[in-house]
Structure 1
Amino acid sequence: MSASRTERLLNLLIALLNTRYGLRRSELREKVYHDSTSTEASFGRMFERDKGELRHFGFEVETVTDTGWGSDDPATTRYRIGKESNRLPDVSLTPAECTVLILAAQLWEQAALGSAARNAVRKLQASGGLLDAELPAGVQPRIRPAGQAFEDLVAAIHAQHPVSFRYLAGSTGQEETRTVEPWGLGSRFGQWYLVGHDRARGDKRFFRLSRFTSAVTVLEETFTPPPSFNVREQLAALPELPVRHAVVDVAAGALLGLRKHSLPFDGGAGADGAESAAEPDAEASAEAAAVPPRVGFDRLSVPYRDAETLAAELASYGPKAVVVAPHGLHAAVRRRLEAAAAFAAAPEPPINFPRSEQPKRTRKRTSEDQLKRMLQLVPFLVHNQGLHISEVADRFGVTRKELEDDLRILICSGLPEGYPDDLLDIRWDDDHVYIFEDLDLKRPVRFSVDEACALLTGLEALNGLPGLDEGGALESVTLKLMAAAGEEGLKAAAVSGPEVAPADSATLETAREAIRTGAQLRLTYLAPQRDAVSERDVDPHRLYSLDSTWYLEAYCHTAEGLRNFRLDRIQELVPTGRPVSSTASPAGSFPVKLFTPNDDDAVVVLELTRQGAGLADDYYAERTAALPDGNMLAEIRFGSADWLPMLAAQHGGAVRILQPPALAAAAREWLGAALAGYEEHAARQLD
């Protein structure tokens, strides 16, 4: 959509909204399109495309036919848009409901649904239905979508397009291409699942996103999903995988976190010679018995439910852990290490970042984005008269120049005759924006599927968060939004996020109370990257989550700086009896970052495949650049870069280190040492 087409569509919209009886195509061609050169056939095709665009934005173009004439006669057919058919219904929310709604909208941090959530909130603000709300002290839950595959699948589900991807089957261990009609996407057991119709098998199937081994390809054709499909109901019927036990050789004294939930392997037999419930099955035990433990390693029995999840963890331990049994898990870890090593050894691309003042990667803006933004901008200005232009730009996530470009298009748009009184009247001469003529664009357009999905899925995920749903606000705001969203709200049931309630609510409540009262805390903390347990006094600032994993952001008196502590790695948390004493405070912006930048951070350049592209957002890349093969360069700051080889191994061929060269070389050496452990294991099996 070109910029001129954006302006044309806006004028067409205003004309069709402001006619009672409708306008004939010939009138629109003369007064809106000002077209006298194209043929009738080519103009007809352009007009049909424009009507389709307006429907895409939520406006139903009505066809009115004169009595006795057919609708296929352009001379007797008129067009209009009903003033109420496309409007967001009034939504009146209490302060408690506004609090819950804002938390739900903030759950989606940087994913496509995050943009949709912001659009939905702006629509509620524009309609006057969203009040200023005080969020719970220090609590900011978030959802981390499953990378680029999540983005592509949500788009395909809502557009009803089939998808194709490479998939590693859990039952057979075989990798193959699947073509699926995606019905829904949701989280269960801490994992994201796609539910859809597998065309090759002719039946419904569940696919773990962690087992996708390629990017998702969205096909152009369409399909019709089952009526009233609800992905949460489908996933609720999915049985949890049974607990199994792997045999893993672990370097002596290393991997305290893994040891915490593991047991020494005793050969698979209890005191009476029977197989123990805490040991591998007979086949895995037989595999382990065939190879004695390595010198300097301890043999552990490690519980797990899903092989791929444990494989990602064990791969990240590199040379410190070697899977002995079962064979499928052994192969899964080795596959990740081999892919990471191959990627690390591949020829390196030239490292060139575009010269830009933009501090972070943003999706390329299109004229479709611009028209969508302008349709939100007019009602927003109607309900927020006199805001400073910089504040308006900030609310819409654009630069001042982009906002002024929008405003200049708007003030040149209006009714077909184009007289001064027939144009949108917006003024910002003193840097404060006022609107005096809105041409009936003062009500926001109803929610899109993405917008309804972002809010309703976010509200669903908040269920069970301690101290949130006082007075039933969560249930009541959900019902109000379902009513306002209408049919689009029903389609939102195709996506279901994880519940963000923490596993250990007691630790959360201790931290939350300390934040509220300004009390210092003492914690005993397991740091897996350093493989050590330490005791620290901290001044707590706020709590936030990624899915159901919660973090405490606090000033650490040992490190003399802000740090983020995972609640599930805190072994003990008690008040010290002293008030907070540090002057350091976190940035007030949302979202909280997992990594607090410092002047002495290591600056690292990574290469990410399309599968790993989401890591650029996860780690707040300062600069990115696209590569010709579809990969991406990302420049990221890390407080400590020593653990980055672990990241490369965990993501198995989706990320590699390019700079600094010494770190890239160390990563290749580390991966080589990890693979050498598996080569040694294979040789000892043969012996």
Structure 2
Amino acid sequence: MSASRTERLLNLLIALLNTKYGLRRGELREKVYHDTESSDVAFGRMFERDKGELLQFGFDVETVTDTGWGSDDPATTRYRIGKESNRLPDVSLTPEECTVLILAAQLWEHAALGSAAVDAVRKLQAAGGLVDAELPTGVQPRIRPAGQAFEDLVAAMHAQHPVRFSYLASSTGQEQERLVEPWGLGSRFGQWYLVGHDRGRGDKRFFRLSRLTSAVTVLEKESFTPPAGFNVRAELAGLAELPVQSAVVDVEHGRLLGLRKRAQAVPDSAREPGALEPGAPERGTRRPAAGTDRLTVPFRDAETLGEELASYGPRVTVISPPELAGAVRRRLTAAAAFAARPVPDAAFPEAGRTGRTRKRTSEDQLKRMLQLVPFLVHNQGLHISEVAARFGITRKALEDDLRILICSGLPEGYPDDLLDIQWDDDHVFITQALDLTRPVRFTVDEACALLTGLETLNGLPEIAEGGALESVTLKLMAAAGEEGVQAAALSGPGVAPGNSATLETARTAIGSGAQLHLRYFSPQRDAVSERDVDPLRLYSLDNTWYLEAYCHSAKGLRNFRLDRIEALEPNGRPAAAMAKPADSFPVKLFTPNDDDTVVVVELAPRGTGLADDYYAERTADLPGGGMLAEIRFGSTDWLPMFVAQHGGMVRILQPDALADASREWLAAALTQYEASSDRPID
């Protein structure tokens, strides 16, 4: 959409909003389009495209036909937009409700629906429904991004398009292509599931996203209708948790302390549990390799444990069960194959480092302007820099918006028929809004982002108590209407902390300004260390909580996972106020420093979400849907683990030494499995 088309659509919208009886196509062509050259057929196509654009922004163009005439006669058909049917109802929120709402919206900061949550909050701000609210100390939950497949499935689900993907069936262990109508997405037992109609099998099926082995293809030319009243949370409630199994693994001496904490040693004289498949003939047990310990590890899902064990590379070998060994080998093989491919002929843009953001379009500009006008109506006299900051754009971009707006208005174009906005003294005032004083109703994505976020917050007792969560949910359900009903197709994960005592100790220290002493296990270093830290704040990804603190040992900001803190207590000293947290939530899991290593990676199509997860500074799209990404890493020792874990979704291109190290790591890991089959049998 060009800038001129943006202005034309805005003028068309204002004209259709400000007519009581409707305008004929000829009137619109003359007074809005000023089109005297196109044929009737060409103009008709352009007008229908513009109607479709307005519908995407939430404005349904009504067709009014004169009595006694056919609707296919342009001369007797009039068009208008109802002033009330497309508008967001008034939503009045208390400060407590605003606090809960902001927390719910921020859940999606780095996940699917993140931009939709931001747009929904801006609409409430534009309508004057949000008041200033203070976030509670130590409470900032987030939903962990579930990868590019999740993003694609959410889009297909809301647009009601079927999808195609390759899937590893748990019952057969075979990889098969599936054609599915996506009805809903939800989290259960720490895993994301797709619930939908499998066209190949003619029935409802549940698909675990961790078992998708290809990118998701959205069939945009096809559509489906989901079941009436579908609720994904109710569907997933009937799923039984997988039984606990035992894996037998050989682990390098003195390595993988975290895995050892969950494991038990196997005596040399004992046969490993689960070594034989049911019904298989009795046979001997292969001896552990020299320099390794044989352990049993409890697990429920082979794919989940397989991802972890693959990251350990040659430091661990799976002996049994075969399903788990296959999951590990599949990831290692895919990672090795991806690492061996020719380096793509591509480069980053010359514009220097910029954060990875979706390219802004004219559609974004028009959507923003439709939020901007009602926002200015309810916030007269704000400084132009503050307005730009509220909308996440530069002052120049905002002034470009305002210049288009002041040239837009009713078809006749008289001064009183134009939007009247002034910012000569850097304070923005609007005196003529032309029925754009209220934002358009929530889209499905926006309603889903807020309502699913509110539902997710039910897992936090300090948020669920007091009634604000329930009351704001009811208000938003009423405001969202039909779009709110469709939010039942998405259900978020639990966000309650696993160790509430550790979290409470940290929250108390943050509130009182006390310094803490902690004993911490770092899987990257495979070691336990003791540190004194100044706690700053707490936040989470799903139910994994982090403590952001100034570490006196590292002399900088660090983020500590609460489930890896083995001991935490005040040390009797006050916090030294050596650092402050970043200005906004949520914080990054990684704080950049000048001595970081800049690493260039290639991401496969289904791994492009890793660019956001690891805060890529530059990106470049590749043919076929892949991506180059430039990412900073404070420690590079664990990068081979990173590549192995993601099994063919990422590989290191530069520096060359790190690329070579990751290939050697993968080769050594695969060699372990070849060697295990050659070891003597007891």
Which of the five TM-score ranges fits, normalised by the shorter chain?
A: over 0.9
Match of 2:647 in 1: 652
- Please tell me whether the aligned partners of residues 287 and 680 of structure 2 are also in contact (alpha carbons under 8 angstroms): no
**In the TM superposition, what is the alpha-carbon distance from 1:315 to its structure 2 partner?**
0.4
* Amino acid in structure 2 at the alignment position of 1:387: L
Deviations 1:134-159 (A, max 9, x none): 10113211112211111111110000
Candidates 278, 296, 304, aligned match of 1:301: 296
Corresponding residue of 1:92: 92
Alignment of 1:599 onto 2:600? no
Confirm whether residue 579 of structure 1 aligns to residue 580 of structure 2: no
Q: Deviations over 1:577-611 (max 9, x none)?
A: 22112421222222201001111111111111111
SS in 1 for 2:678: helix
Q: Is 1:280 paired with 2:274?
A: yes
8 A Cα contact 2:284 2:681, kept in partner: no
1:522 Cα shift?
1.4
How far apart in 2 are the matches of 1:606 and 1:231? 36
Distance 1:206 1:166 in 2: 14
Aligned equivalents of 1:642, 1:596: Cα separation in 2: 17
Match of 1:244 in 2: 245
Distance 2:414 2:112 in 1: 40
Q: Could you tell me how far apart the structure 2 residues matched to 1:445 and 1:286 are? A: 68
SS of the residue aligned with 2:197?
A: strand
For the residues of structure 2 that align with 1:655 and 1:192, how far apart are their CA atoms? 21
Deviation at 1:387, TM superposition (A): 2.1
- 1:565-588 per-position Cα deviation (integer Å, ceiling 9, x unaligned): 101111111122221124212222
Specify the alignment match of 1:254 in structure 2.
255
The CA distance in 2 between the partners of 1:53 and 1:563, in whole Å, is 46
Contact 1:184 1:196 in 2 (8 A): yes
Task: Quote the residue 2:8 is aligned against.
Answer: 8
- Given the superposition, is the C-alpha separation of residues 287 and 172 from structure 1 closer, same or farther in structure 2, using an over 3 Å criterion? farther
Deviation at 1:619, TM superposition (A): 0.9
Hey, what does 2:626 align to over in structure 1?
631
Paired residues in the alignment total 680
Whole-Å separation in 2 of the counterparts to 1:605 and 1:502: 34
- Which range is displaced more, 363-372 or 595-604? 363-372
2:51 paired residue number: 51
Aligned AA for 1:666? A
State the match for 1:554 in structure 2.
549
Task: Provide the residue aligned with 2:234 in structure 1.
Answer: 233
What is the deviation of 1:52? 2.0
Q: Which aligned pairs between 1:349-360 and structure 2 lie closer than 5 A?
A: 349-350=344-345, 352-357=347-352, 359-360=354-355
Could you tell me which amino acid in structure 2 is paired with residue 74 of structure 1?
P
Matched, 1:433 2:425: no
Deviations 1:250-283 (A, max 9, x none): 111211101111112358979xxxx9xxx53753
- Matched with 1:42 is 42
Match of 2:538 among 543, 551, 564: 543
Q: Which moved more, 1:462-471 or 1:643-652?
A: 462-471
Quick check: 1:71–1:77 contact (8 Å CA) kept in 2? yes
Maintained 8 Å contact 2:289/2:679: no
- Name the stretch that deviates more: 398-407 or 320-329: 398-407
Cα contact 1:156–1:182 (8 A) shared by 2: yes
- Separation (CA, whole Å) in 1 of partners of 2:681 and 2:351: 57
1:490 is aligned to 485
Counterparts in 2 of 1:78 and 1:232: CA distance versus 1, 3 Å: same
Q: How does 1:240-639 map to 2 (within 5 A)?
A: 240-266=241-267, 279-280=273-274, 283=277, 289-350=284-345, 352-357=347-352, 359-639=354-634
Residue 637 of structure 2 aligns to a residue in which SS? Answer: coil
Amino acid at match of 2:124: L
Residue 196 of structure 2 aligns to a residue whose secondary structure is strand
Q: Deviations over 1:88-142 (max 9, x none)?
A: 0111111111000000000111334110001000010111110110101132111
Per the TM alignment, residue 514 of structure 1 is displaced from its structure 2 partner at its CA by 1.0
Query: CA offset at residue 482 of structure 1?
Result: 0.4
Once residues 224 and 238 of structure 2 are traced to their aligned partners in structure 1, the CA distance between those partners, rounded to angstroms, is 24
SS in 1 for 2:677: helix
Deviation at 1:60, TM superposition (A): 2.0
Structure 1 residue runs of 5 or longer lacking an equivalent are none
**Separation (CA, whole Å) in 1 of partners of 2:141 and 2:102:** 11
Task: Name the structure 1 match of 2:635.
Answer: 640
Deviations 1:381-433 (A, max 9, x none): 11122222222222222233322222221111100101111111112223322
> How far apart in 2 are the matches of 1:479 and 1:620?
36
Q: Relative to structure 1, is the Cα distance of residues 318 and 358 closer, same or farther in structure 2, using a 3 angstrom cutoff? A: closer
Deviations 1:516-550 (CA, angstroms, capped at 9, x unpaired): 11111111111111111122211110101111111
- Give the superposition deviation at 1:163: 0.4
CA shift, 1:358, in A, is 5.6
Counterpart in 1 of 2:674?
679
Distance 2:347 2:77 in 1: 56
Distance 1:358 1:122 in 2: 28
* Corresponding residue for residue 163 of structure 1: 163
Q: Deviations over 1:50-86 (max 9, x none)?
A: 2222222111222222233332322222211111111
Contact 1:287–1:326 at 8 Å: present in 2 too? no
Q: Distance in 1 between matches of 2:397 and 2:281?
A: 67
Contact 2:60 2:86 in 1 (8 A): yes
Give the Cα–Cα distance (whole angstroms) in 1 for the partners of residues 281 and 591 of structure 2.
48
Greater CA drift, 380-389 or 68-77: 68-77
Q: Secondary structure at the match of 2:100?
A: helix
Mean Cα displacement is larger for which, 661-670 or 350-359?
A: 350-359
Report the AA paired with residue 304 of structure 1. F
Q: 1:601-647 CA deviation, whole Å, 9 max, x = no partner?
A: 11111111111111111111111112234321111111101101000
What per-residue deviation string (whole Å, max 9, x for no partner) do you get for residues 186-217 of structure 1? 11111111110011000011111111111111
Query: In the alignment, which residue of structure 2 is the partner of 1:26?
Result: 26
Is the 8 Å Cα contact of residues 91 and 124 (structure 2) preserved in structure 1?
yes
Single out whichever of 44-53 and 334-343 deviates more from structure 2.
44-53
Partner amino acid, structure 1, of 2:31: K
* TM-score, length basis structure 1: 0.96
Instruction: Give the CA deviation at 1:247.
Output: 0.6
**d(CA) in 1 for partners of 2:370, 2:190:** 38
8 Å CA contact retained: 1:109, 1:144: no
Percent identical residues:
77
In structure 2, the residue matched to 1:206 is: 206
Correspondence for 1:182: 182
Q: Which residue of 2 aligns with 1:113?
A: 113
Structure 1 Cα separation of the partners of residues 677 and 225 of structure 2: 50
RMSD, matched Cα: 1.9
Whether contact under 8 Å (2:262, 2:298) holds in the other structure is yes
For 1:351 and 1:72, locate their aligned partners in 2 and report how far apart those are by CA, in whole Å.
52
DSSP-derived class of the 1:5 partner: helix
Please report the TM-score for the alignment, with normalisation by the length of structure 2.
0.97
2:68 is matched by which residue type in structure 1?
G
2:97/2:468 contact within 8 Å kept = yes
In the alignment, the residues of structure 1 paired with residue 536 and residue 613 of structure 2 have an alpha-carbon distance, to the nearest angstrom, of 21
SS in 2 for 1:301: strand
Say whether residues 1:145 and 2:140 are aligned partners.
Answer: no
Q: CA deviation at 1:37?
A: 1.9
Deviation at 1:662, TM superposition (A): 1.1
What displacement does 1:332 show? Answer: 1.1
Distance 1:288 1:145 in 2: 44
Deviation (angstroms), 1:361: 1.1
- Indicate conservation of the 8 Å contact 2:605/2:624, yes or no: no
> What amino acid does structure 2 have at the position aligned with 1:450?
D
